[in-house]
Amino acid sequence: MDRKILENLFDENEPRADRDKLESPLEEIFIEKLEKYLSSGVTIHPQYEVKTIAGKFRLDFLLTCFDKKIAFECDGEEYHDEFRDEFRDGLTLGAGTIDAIYRFRGKDLHTFLDDCIYLIYHFDKELFNERYPFIFPKLISDDLKEDIEKNLLDDSERTRIDHRAINSEGNHVGWLTLILERRSKNKSGHWKVLYDFAVANPDKTLDELIDLRKKGW
């Protein structure tokens, strides 16, 4: 089946995000593609606010499916502060209401959007409709297919997919890398260390906590 036909197979019960709440073209690109493949049991909450011990944060998207809550951040800035993001994710997960947080870089959503969507499916299949497992092989890259066949996708906080860069003559000239950050409240990682640090230093803002941590407190 043609790729374009696959991408336009809509379910009349397809979950939809409130477009008035979206804050960037990147968010719209991401959610417009993801919506096509979501289960009808999913509800999309754009700009979802979560209360933490260091203040309130807004998540780009929260998807709820029965008792599961999965958050998504679309990091559009070219030079994002990874440490700040990790600290914020730790505080968010520590609040106990979010099950997992996905972070995608803007350039990966622009270049490897179908691969990004598959990675969500790989870790959280219950979010997806019955159609998606049959069509993703025609959508994802050959490089990702190789990683799947070799069982290289594990449940670590960082997933890396290396893509071959091909020039106009069809020659392999280098590599482009997709990076996903996925943190889960059920899997301890460095985020938990940062959350425990925040608990040990109460009544501090995120900026104050970052400053203390960098000073070695």
Residue 177 lies in a domain: no
Residue 73 lies in a domain: yes
**What is the total count of domains within the chain?**
1
Residue 160 lies in a domain: no
Q: What is the pLDDT of residues 79-118, one digit of tens each?
A: 578 999 999 999 999 999 999 999 999 999 999 999 999 9
Residue 93 lies in a domain: yes
- As a whole number of angstroms, the distance between CA 158 and CA 190 comes to 12
Q: Which two tokens stand for residue 109?
A: 């959503």
Residue 179 lies in a domain: no
Domain span at residue 103 reads: 3-141+184-214
Distances (CA, A) of 146 to 99, 140, 161: 29, 11, 10
Q: What is the pLDDT of residues 14-70, one digit of tens each?
A: 899 999 999 999 999 999 999 999 999 999 999 999 999 999 999 999 999 999 999
Distances (CA, A) of 79 to 84, 105, 106, 210: 12, 10, 10, 18
Residue 171 lies in a domain: no
Residue 153 lies in a domain: no
Residue 120 lies in a domain: yes
What is the model's pTM? 0.91
Can you give the pLDDT at residue 173?
Answer: 80
